[in-house]
Amino acid sequence: MEHYFYPAIFHKEKKGGYWISFPDFPECLTQGEDLEDAYKMASDAIGLCIDDKIKNNEPLPQASAPVDFIVENDDFSCLIEFNLLHYRRTHNTKSVKKTLSIPEWLNEAALSQNINFSQVLQDALIQKLESMQ
């Protein structure tokens, strides 16, 4: 699964801005200066929690519905979308070495054109993964 949707509760601060909690991830809290910043921070925060649970082979909680929560005053709930592939592409840039085999003629042709094999493979894998979504 690449896309996840979890509800967040946006709590309006008296002095401006918002702090955000996640009913399905009680350990996850964040804040933002305005609504746009708060939503971005909420997406980043839930992403950290989801990615951490996946890396540690922990089960993800079942997503609750945003209407399941009673909010007070100026608070409101909404779904936060998290794209795991996009997150890992931008935050997990550590390279890993891969060994592969190609025909000799293809190797020679690519070398004669100064083609960067690693970049071509990365581009092709990204294109393939995006077409599978």
Tell me the pLDDT of the chain averaged across its residues: 90
The verdict on 81 and 128 lying in the same domain is no
Burial class (CB in 10 A: 0-12, 13-18, 19+), 45: buried
Take residue 115 and report the two structure tokens written for it: 């083609």
Q: Each residue of 90-133: pLDDT tens digit?
A: 877 778 888 889 999 999 999 999 999 999 998 998 889 888 86
**Cβ pair 104, 111 in contact under 8 A:** no
The verdict on 11 and 33 lying in the same domain is yes
The verdict on 56 and 104 lying in the same domain is no
Q: Each residue of 56-67: pLDDT tens digit?
A: 999 999 999 878
The verdict on 7 and 51 lying in the same domain is yes
Which residue range(s) make up the domain with 107?
A: 95-133
